[in-house]
Structure 1
Amino acid sequence: MTDAPGKGRIASVQMLRFLAAFAVLIGHVEIFTYHTGQYLGVTLYRLPLIGHTAFGVDLFFAISGFVMIISSERLFGSADARRSFLLRRLLRIVPLYWLALAFMVLWGWRFGPAADAATAASGFAFLPHASNIAHGRMVPPLEVGWTLNYEMLFYALFALSIASTAQTTARRIATLLGILVLIGTAAPLPQPLAYWSDPIVIEFLGGIAIALLYRKGLRLPSTLRAAMLGCALLLVFGPFQDLPGAQGGWPRLLAWGLAGWLILGATVLGPLPLPQARWWNRGGDVSYALYLVHMPIMTVMQLVWRHFSLPYGTAQANLFAATAIALSVGAAALAHLIIERPIARLTATGRYATVPS
């Protein structure tokens, strides 16, 4: 959900960005496909372990910490580093998200369920809020935006922490996030502080630590990196989801958060020749758009299928899923071309052009 590190983009990071977004897409495709059938009176077989695709979010957070250090190289020690960083972040994240969010709000007002003013406004402001259309869950009308509420907190604290060196910046943001999580663990906090103090925010710090090791030139042997990937797979597909409070909190950090760090470290702290690296770079480029557009597309598809009571069985469900994937990838590529790339060219001008692409 974040930028690739500039002109010297790391192909392995681009690959991870795309795979993380695609994992989230696959999980949501399964949910929409299944519940469309439920509405039409058809109960479909649910794929085992499909819920583990949500791990893509945790991998995104690790990548975000890594990328913020790498892509901010020219900002450390600059007089207007905070302003430049925040402006670049806002231009990168806000326009496409607001467009997708506005679509979901307007769609809900027309076809239901309709978000109330507080739910809609908090979504645009990146403020966690108990949604009136999601059974009180802390999600905006475009549900994937819950992660951006954490991202924006991270960006604000990163800007506040920017210093003359990456190491000092890392220590400052680690202190701020650590204090926030410790307070939230020790005592109940009011919203939105309770939301922001979830240990999931520590996942950003793991990515920062890996970026510092990468900058120092640390490279790990291939056998160790393979072992790291194996351990990560065990954590991703392990039984932690059956634990109390596993949707967040410390269990998620210690399972999926750690898995995200292991995967990121294994891919960047050593050579990883990628076939067709150019295509992985393009996949990473469209990953943020893919993350945002797939739920609006499936929301429309689901309404059309329900409205016309189209035939629905295993074959039609497979068609629904395949169409949703194809349309989501195509729409993401288009959104990147006509929205993100022009903005990227705008932010790549001037003294601090480190480039979101």
Structure 2
Amino acid sequence: MRGCSVDQGSAQTRHDQAEKGHGRLKERIDTLDELRALAIGAVMLSHFALAFGSQSIVAFWLNLPDLSVGVDLFFVISGFLIFQNLADLAESANTFTRVVGAFYARRVTRVALPAWTILAVIALADLEPPASSANDFWAASAFVANVHWARCEIDARCGDALATSHFWSLASEAQFYFLAPALLLARARAPLYVVITAILLLALIPHPHGSLLWALRPEALLLGAALASEVRRRATWLVKAPPVTAGVAAWWSLVASMMARIAIGPFSGLAWALVALISAGVVLGRLKGPPIAGPVGNAVRRAGRVSFSVYLVHLPLIGVAAESFAAKIGVTPAVFGALAAIAAATIVVEFAIVQPAAQLGRAWSARIALKEAPMRSSRAKIRSSAM
């Protein structure tokens, strides 16, 4: 009787911990949603500049700062939340294998299913222009688009970058999933020390625009995970970090974009390390800072919450506007048409694909984390029968 009580009690404890953990994962941090909006805004501006730079003086000068550093901000946020997700799962699952299984289940459904759906739509649309090659689609589908596009300067098999090249960042994040669970095995400050060592080493290696290391971009993801580890253990140094307002965060992101623009030659590795450090500082500062107040804040946070959907759909629509319509109707109408199309596509993708995929991922992940080990479950049933 006592044995049965202990087994059932431990199972209930794990269930309660898992429910609590998954509840935490459902909570949104307002300031991180605001940073997502900042990041997707910067990325979209960089792609409008790329697509319309030869047709508009405004778009041409938008290329002066490298606003694609919005991706680095996304990477820090992703690294932070990935580690938090893993740590929450570790509190509820009874084995490391179950933690990893629950984590991958959630990631596959949350990220891969929407990405594959959008790739299928782009393929069926058969855009011309911007036209993609079969290799572009296979690389994006297999989450190796970062490696694929890094070779495109020497490989004629690449298609138009305005169709699917933005999947390179999803590839970098997906590849980080293989490393992230190992950070859970480190104790105390070990994750921070490991990440600092990696950043210092990477800073010594040149990786200019278009290179393989530039496309892999591990610095920001690692710093986000290290920051989550320090927050998790309530590191005392975090108290000394100053809060950052939304305006200051935008300013420092602009500084990072100028730093990225001069990331050339032998010091390019150092420049990208500084971009990652600035992005991590922005995330830490906003975690301690106040959210934007009023209707503006609500609008910004709503934009941040749908940023993944925006990211998936925006580039091919910008490409179509720039290459198929700008010459016919003018740059300004083409830009506004692209924005309207992005907004409409975002609404459809968010509610029809991304949100259902996220709900499925949470349910699948929770089921794996909560599932009893067969031996323990059978033993509990045997003891219950003996009663």
Shorter-chain TM range is 0.7 to 0.9
Give TM-score, length-normalised by structure 1.
0.75
Q: Which amino acid in the other structure matches residue 277 of structure 2?
A: L
* 1:267 and 2:281 are equivalent in the alignment: no
Q: CA deviation at 1:175?
A: 4.1
Matches within 5 A, 1:170-249: 171=190, 175=194, 182=201, 195=212, 200-215=217-232, 216=234, 220=239, 225=244, 229=249, 232-233=252-253, 235-236=255-256, 238=258, 240-245=260-265, 249=269
Q: Could you tell me which of 328, 338, 344 is aligned with 1:310?
A: 328
Q: Could you tell me which of 124, 139, 154 is aligned with 1:122?
A: 139
The equivalent residue for 2:75 is: 61
64-73 or 258-267: bigger deviation: 64-73
- Distance in 2, Cα, partners of 1:175 & 1:217: 16
Q: 1:105-135 deviations in whole A, cap 9, x for unaligned?
A: 45557656441x4443222111244459954
- Distance in 1, Cα, partners of 2:287 & 2:276: 17
Q: Which runs of 5+ in 1 are unaligned?
A: 189-193
Q: Could you tell me which of 60, 65, 82 is aligned with 1:46?
A: 60
Q: 1:245-277 deviations in whole A, cap 9, x for unaligned?
A: 4996331221x2122112111100244454345
The structure-2 alpha-carbon separation of the partners of 1:16 and 1:132, relative to structure 1 and needing over 3 Å to count, comes to closer
The equivalent residue for 1:97 is: 115
Give the count of matched residue pairs: 330
- Distance in 1, Cα, partners of 2:40 & 2:218: 19
- Distance in 1, Cα, partners of 2:150 & 2:64: 27
Would you say the 8 A contact 1:19–1:56 is kept in 2?
yes
* 1:6 and 2:28 are equivalent in the alignment: no
Would you say the 8 A contact 1:67–1:211 is kept in 2?
yes
Q: Could you tell me which of 149, 160, 173 is aligned with 2:171?
A: 149
The structure-2 alpha-carbon separation of the partners of 1:177 and 1:352, relative to structure 1 and needing over 3 Å to count, comes to farther
Q: CA deviation at 1:83?
A: 0.7
- Distance in 1, Cα, partners of 2:64 & 2:346: 23
The equivalent residue for 2:52 is: 33
216-225 or 80-89: bigger deviation: 216-225
The 3-state SS of whatever aligns with 2:27 is coil
The 3-state SS of whatever aligns with 1:75 is helix
Q: Which amino acid in the other structure matches residue 53 of structure 1?
A: L
The equivalent residue for 1:297 is: 317
Give TM-score, length-normalised by structure 2.
0.70
Would you say the 8 A contact 2:49–2:63 is kept in 1?
no
Q: CA deviation at 1:348?
A: 2.6
Q: CA deviation at 1:236?
A: 2.2
Q: Which amino acid in the other structure matches residue 250 of structure 1?
A: L
The equivalent residue for 1:191 is: none
- Distance in 1, Cα, partners of 2:140 & 2:217: 20
The structure-2 alpha-carbon separation of the partners of 1:56 and 1:176, relative to structure 1 and needing over 3 Å to count, comes to closer
- Distance in 2, Cα, partners of 1:135 & 1:8: 43
Q: Which amino acid in the other structure matches residue 294 of structure 1?
A: H
Would you say the 8 A contact 1:62–1:207 is kept in 2?
yes
The structure-2 alpha-carbon separation of the partners of 1:34 and 1:333, relative to structure 1 and needing over 3 Å to count, comes to same
- Distance in 1, Cα, partners of 2:348 & 2:235: 37
Would you say the 8 A contact 1:181–1:197 is kept in 2?
no
The equivalent residue for 1:284 is: 304
Would you say the 8 A contact 1:298–1:324 is kept in 2?
yes
Which has a greater percent of helix?
2
Would you say the 8 A contact 1:17–1:60 is kept in 2?
yes
The structure-2 alpha-carbon separation of the partners of 1:349 and 1:234, relative to structure 1 and needing over 3 Å to count, comes to closer
* 1:159 and 2:176 are equivalent in the alignment: no
Matches within 5 A, 1:66-77: 66-76=80-90
Q: CA deviation at 1:303?
A: 4.4
Would you say the 8 A contact 2:77–2:283 is kept in 1?
yes
- Distance in 2, Cα, partners of 1:352 & 1:22: 33
Would you say the 8 A contact 2:189–2:230 is kept in 1?
no
- Distance in 1, Cα, partners of 2:193 & 2:123: 35
The structure-2 alpha-carbon separation of the partners of 1:248 and 1:152, relative to structure 1 and needing over 3 Å to count, comes to farther
Q: 1:294-313 deviations in whole A, cap 9, x for unaligned?
A: 1121233334416xx5243x
Matches within 5 A, 1:321-336: 321-336=335-350
The structure-2 alpha-carbon separation of the partners of 1:326 and 1:187, relative to structure 1 and needing over 3 Å to count, comes to closer
Would you say the 8 A contact 1:228–1:266 is kept in 2?
no
Q: CA deviation at 1:171?
A: 3.9
- Distance in 2, Cα, partners of 1:180 & 1:225: 24
